[in-house]
Chain A
Amino acid sequence: MTLFFNRRDLVVPGDLLAEGDYEAGSNVYKDGSRLYATRVGLLEVEDNKISVIALNSFYVPKPGDLVIGDIVDVGVGSWAVDIRAPRLAVLRAVDAFNRPFRPDRDELMRFLTVGDTIIAKVKAYDRTRNPMLTLGEPGLGKITSGRLVRITPSKVPRLIGKKGSMISMLKRETGCQIVIGMNGVVLVRCKRPEDEELLVEAIEKIERESHVEGLTDRVARMIRRRKGLAA
C-alpha cells in the first residue's frame, strides 16, 4: 500500500497514483493493483478511495441533475436539446406539458422552438440511449431573461462550495439570482448591469483559479474591493 502523491497534488493522465489495496474513485483507472489518473486534476484521498477532481471535463448526465440546454430540433412528439453532453437530450412533449400529449391540438413549435434555452431536469440516462429530460417540476422551463455563463462541468461543485458556501456568498454580495446547471451552464439574473459584470467576472475567476487554495476568501475579497471602488 503506497501512495505516490499527496492530497491536492496536481496529477495528469498516466500518473501512477498508488499501488496496493485501494479503491478507484472518479477519474482513476485500476490495472491490477496499480492506480493511474485518467484526467488532469487534483488528487483526493478518502479512506481507501483514491479519486481525481478533474480540471477539464465534459458533462455526463446523471438522473436528477438540473441542466440548462438549448433546443436544437423539434420532432413529432419531442424536442432535441443540447445540454453539452456527448449526446443530445430528448424532451418528450408529455414531460414538458406534464399531461398526455395530444398531437391534434398541441403544437410543439408554439411551446418551445429552435434557439430557445430551457432549465430542465435529467429524468433518465443509462449510456445506451440518449438522456431524457423533464420540465415537470417548479422552476423548470423556458428562460426568458438573464445571462448565461459556461464553465467546465467538473468545476460546478467549486462554484457551489462546501454546503453552498460559495454560491450563497455570491448571491449575498451581488444580490443576483443564480441558477447552476450541473452541465456547467450558469444562469445569472441581476437588477443592475454592474452587478452582472461583477458576478460573471467572479464566476470566471472561480473557474480559472479553482485549483488554488483559499478560493472563497479570494473571490469575496475581489468582490468587496470592486464594490468599494464603484461606490
Chain B
Amino acid sequence: MQHERPKLIDDEGRRVDGRGPTDLRPIHIEVDVLANADGSAYVEQGGTKVLAAVYGPKEIHPRHLGLPDRAVLRCRYHMAPFSVEQRKSPAPSRREIEISKVVREALEPALFLEHYPRTAIDVFVEVLQADGGTRCASITAASLALADAGIPMRDLVAACAAGKVDGILVLDLCDSEDKYGEADVPFAMMPGLGRITLLQMDGMLTPEELKECIRLAMEGCRKIYNMQKEALRERFVRIRREVEAAEAGEGGGQA
C-alpha cells in the first residue's frame, strides 16, 4: 500500500501543505454576501470554499409537510459541478443526500424550532470548491447564515475535522489527507454550551486515539467559533467605523 500513496508527513513532521499536526488551514469568513437570501455566509478553509444561504421561517409547501409542534429545518448540501477535478453531475448523489441530513442534524439543536410551528427554515449550502472537510465548512457557514437571517439560536455551531495521517493525529484534514490517511473524524459543536452536535468516524482508531481526536477537534472548533463571532460583528463594526470617519471628516470641513 505504502508505495502507491503519497507521503503525508515529511521527516520534519510537516504535513503536505506545510502545517504542523494541530494547525488549522487559513480560514476566511464573510457574512451577508447574498442580497436575495434572508441570511448568507461564505467560508473558505484552505482550498475548501462553501457558500450558505438561509430562508425563513416561512410558510411550508406542500402544507402537509408542516409539523404541528415545531418548524421543519430543511437542508441541502450540494457540490457544484466544478467543485472537484472530475466534473460532478449536478444531480444530488447518495453522499450529498446523506451529508444534507448530517448537516441538518448538526444545526437543529442550536435552533428554537418549537417556537415556529407549521413553518419551514431552508438552508442551502453550495460547495464551490472541495478540498476536504466540506461538511464541516458547510456547518460553519450554515450556522452563520442562520444567525445572519435573524433566526434565534442557542449558540453558533462550529465544525472541524480531526484524524490520523501517517500514524499521527492531526487537525483539519485536507483532501489528500482524507483520501490517503488512516482515519477522519468530522466533528461539530456549540462551543459556548459545550455540546457536541456531530461526531462521525471513517477509518480505524483506537479508543484512546478517538478521544485524542475529539480533544483536538474541540480545540479547532473553539478557534473557528471565535472567527465566526468576529465575522458576525465585523459587518456592524465596519459601518460604525465608516460613520465615525465620515463624522470626523465633516467636523473638519465645517471648522
Residues of A within 8 A of B (CB): 10, 12-16, 27, 29, 31, 36, 38-40, 54-58, 86-88, 127-128, 152, 154, 208-209, 211-212, 218, 221
Contact = CB atoms under 8 A, between A and B. Distances in A.
A34 to B, nearest CB: 9
Given A14-B229, A154-B150, A211 B240 contact: yes
B239 A39 contact: no
A77 to B, nearest CB: 19
B153 A14 contact: yes
A212 B154 contact: no
Contacts of A54: 150
A212 to B, nearest CB: 5
Given A56-B39, A58-B150, A211-B240, 8 more contacts: A14-B191, A15-B229, A40-B150, A56-B150, A58-B149, A86-B58, A208-B239, A212-B244
Nearest to A52: B152
B243 A218 contact: yes
Interface string B108-147: 0000100111110000000000000000000000000001
Given A56-B149, A58-B38, A29 B239 contact: no
Interface stretch (B41-49, B80-88, B230-238): B230-238
Residue of A10, A12, A15, A36 with highest tally of chain B CB at under 10 A:
A12
Contacts of A56: 39, 147-150
A75 to B, nearest CB: 14
Nearest to B156: A14
B155 A14 contact: yes
Chain B interface main SS type: mixed
Nearest to B229: A12
Residue of B57, B152, B153 with highest tally of chain A CB at under 10 A:
B152
Contacts of B167: none
Given A36-B192, A127-B117, A211-B240, A57 B57 contact: no
B193 interface: yes
B243 A57 contact: no
Contacts of A208: 239
A12 B147 contact: yes
A152 B229 contact: no
Contact of A38 (B112, B118, B119, B191): B112
Nearest to B143: A13
Contact of A36 (B56, B155, B250): B155
A36 B156 CA distance: 11
B59 interface: yes
Nearest to B150: A56
A114 to B, nearest CB: 16
Given A56-B149, A127-B117, A10 B237 contact: yes
A39 B115 CA distance: 15
Contacts of B71: 86
Interface in B150-183: 150-156
Nearest to A38: B152
B198 interface: no
Nearest to B237: A10
Contact of A39 (B59, B117, B152): B152
For the complex of A and B, 5 pairs with smallest distance between CB atoms: A56-B150, A14-B155, A38-B152, A14-B192, A86-B57
A196 B49 CA distance: 42
A15 B226 CA distance: 11
A219 B118 CA distance: 40
B52 interface: no
Contacts of A14: 153-156, 190-193, 225, 229
Contacts of B233: 10, 12, 40
B33 to A, nearest CB: 14
A38 B115 CA distance: 13
B153 A38 contact: yes
Residue of A39, A56, A127 with highest tally of chain B CB at under 10 A:
A56
Residue of B147, B150, B193 with highest tally of chain A CB at under 10 A:
B150
Contact of B153 (A13, A55, A209): A13
Contacts of A55: 150, 236
Given A88-B59, A212-B240, A27 B156 contact: no
Contacts of B150: 39-40, 54-58, 152, 154
A218 B233 CA distance: 22
B1 to A, nearest CB: 43
